[in-house]
Amino acid sequence: MNRYLLLSLCTGIFECGALVLALSIAEGLPWLGLLYGFSWQIGNALAKYARPYPVCQRLFELSFVLAAVLLNSGLYLAPVFASLAQNLQYVRGHYQDGSRVLTKRTYRVLGFVVGGLFYIPGIALFGWILCAILLGAHSNFRMLKKRQPVKKRQWSFMSTVMVFHQIHYFLYAYGIAWILHEKDNIPLAAVGAAFAAGWIIYLAVEPIFGKVNYSRTLSLGHVFVAAVLLLMSSDTANGYSTILWVATGLGGGTVYCIHRLGGPEAEMDLAEEIGHWVGPLLAITIFLVGFDWDTVLRVAAAFALLVSFCTQISLIRRQPG
């Protein structure tokens, strides 16, 4: 296995593992997984702009791991996931190779399945130690080739649509472990596999649908996912939430149409990052003001419908005259 694919596997393990670990040590905080997910996305963003300091950051992470153990609070683990994400994504970005997109995504999804084992805190700790050793092999990050500057692109209407899509998805994606465990009573050991199943469908949409009427597919796909989320938020969904989670991938997977409609000059990276941050933060806020997962799912459905509405607006904007 080459370094890039190994690091892709590791990112999947820790991204999903963080959610499963949060569920196992939830401490009555249903938004703990959202906090870990938000921290992970902060680390992803930092990897694009700041060079990591591996030795210092391993000590930084160790201090927070010890704080979490000694103070018996999972809240102290959030900075650990931000630090790990920055390191993993930074190194991974320097080892990009000619692997097929499907191969890269397969390793990431396999990582989700393995991350499901983090419901045992001891395995999570062992995984962090192995990751520290792996990153230690790249301790001299200055030796890595310098990244190429990111090409500046223009913010477009479809960039805004991308923000809405990412907000809709990340409102609930990092809480799906809790939702499936609570509504369907699936065992902790199976949460990682269930999370991966939803992503498999999500990633399979583009290869299956391919070149279609992008506006129509995007619009209908998000109406469909909104309907699924509303159904998931109802009491009648209890026992069927895992199936509905997988079904959301069919609608959410039409996100590739946003890229096609926006074109190569549209700014999508920043749009995705904004959605990655706002989604979990908005979900956490919903909890802090006294609401629950059902409300989060309904808000996510509203953003999915907003994507569909904006897609129709973009059609009108493109019409001559």
- Cα–Cα dist 223/220, whole Å: 5
pLDDT of residue 18: 92
pLDDT, tens digit (0-9, with 9 covering 90-100), for 71-99: 888 889 999 999 989 988 888 877 766 66
- Cα–Cα dist 143/258, whole Å: 37
User: Which of 169, 142, 159 has the alpha carbon at shortest distance from 253?
Assistant: 169
- Cα–Cα dist 19/117, whole Å: 11
Q: Does the pLDDT at position 132 exceed 50? A: yes
The superfamily CATH assigns to domain 157-318 is MFS general substrate transporter like domains (1.20.1250.20)
Are 163 and 282 contacting, i.e. CB atoms less than 8 angstroms apart? Answer: no
Pair of tokens at residue 114? 């393995």
**Span 134-147, average pLDDT:** 57
**Span 135-159, average pLDDT:** 64
pLDDT of residue 321: 45
- Cα–Cα dist 232/151, whole Å: 40
User: Which of 282, 313, 278 has the alpha carbon at shortest distance from 296?
Assistant: 282
* C-alpha distances in Å from residue 226, one per residue of 184, 274, 301, 311: 20, 21, 4, 15
Q: Does the pLDDT at position 26 exceed 50? A: yes
Percent of the chain at pLDDT > 70 equals 90
pLDDT, tens digit (0-9, with 9 covering 90-100), for 93-115: 777 666 666 777 888 889 999 98
pLDDT of residue 319: 59
Q: Which residue has the higher pLDDT, 144 or 213?
A: 213
Q: Does the pLDDT at position 123 exceed 50? A: yes
70 pLDDT tier (thresholds 50, 70, 90): confident
- The burial class, CB within 10 Å (0-12 / 13-18 / 19+), for 136 is exposed
Residue with tokens 């979490």: 68
Taking the domains of the chain in order of start, what are their residue ranges?
Answer: 3-143, 157-318
- Cα–Cα dist 301/51, whole Å: 37
Indicate the average pLDDT of the chain: 86
| List of residues 6+ apart from 320 with CB closer than 8 A | none
Q: Tell me which range, 32-41, 83-92, 178-187, is most confidently predicted by mean pLDDT.
A: 32-41
User: Which of 84, 113, 127, 126 has the alpha carbon at shortest distance from 16?
Assistant: 113
- Cα–Cα dist 312/68, whole Å: 48
Q: What count of residues does the chain have?
A: 321
**Which DSSP symbol is given to 175?**
G
Q: Does the pLDDT at position 221 exceed 90? A: yes
